[in-house]
Amino acid sequence: MDNYLIRPAKKEEFQAIRDLIFEVQINPMGLAWQRFLVAVTAEGELVGCGQVKPHRDGSREVASIAVRPQFRGRGAARAILEALLARETRRPLYLMCRSQLEPFYNKFGFRAVSINEMTPYFRRIFHLVGLFRGGRSSEDRLSIMRLD
């Protein structure tokens, strides 16, 4: 596990954050550099990012957790998530992920929730993703998780 400096993003890093979000192919909606924490190496290289974004229904989502491929498996995502959770003390917090990532988020206290436990925003996203999934394998399903 490498050591990373976790700090609030700077305005001039926004393009690098956007580029990373597109590189790892996660939801590029709702990116606001002011909400991001970034992980940087001792040399100042941005290796990962994450944010907590608010939704109109009052829910808050841990989102945009992204790490450059060459830095994966070295603790950057864990460090970002731990810093976001330490900063965001109001609960519940939600997140969306591929079902294969549930075990990672379980370690932090997140649990997958049923559609009945979702806020209106997450129910709407869950239904929309279901419409676009078609016949894809259930191994590649969307998971909505909550930390109480």
Interior angle at CA 25, CA 40 and CA 111, nearest 5: 80
Whole-angstrom Cα distance, residue 116 to residue 29? Answer: 25
The CATH number that applies at residue 20 is 3.40.630.30
Check residue 50 and give its pLDDT: 98
Residue 57: what residue type?
Answer: D
Whole-angstrom Cα distance, residue 61 to residue 30? Answer: 11
Whole-angstrom Cα distance, residue 30 to residue 62? Answer: 12
Tell me which residue of 33, 123, 49, 130 sits closest to 84, measured CA to CA. Answer: 49
pLDDT (tens, 9 = 90+) of the chain, 148 residues, equals 678 899 999 999 999 999 999 999 988 889 999 999 999 999 999 999 999 999 999 999 999 999 999 999 999 999 999 999 999 989 999 999 989 999 999 999 999 999 999 999 999 988 888 766 655 555 678 899 999 9
Q: Please state the domain count of the chain.
A: 1
Range of the domain at 28: 5-147
Check residue 132 and give its pLDDT: 67
Q: Which segments of the chain does DSSP mark as H helices, in order? A: 14-23, 76-87, 102-106, 120-133
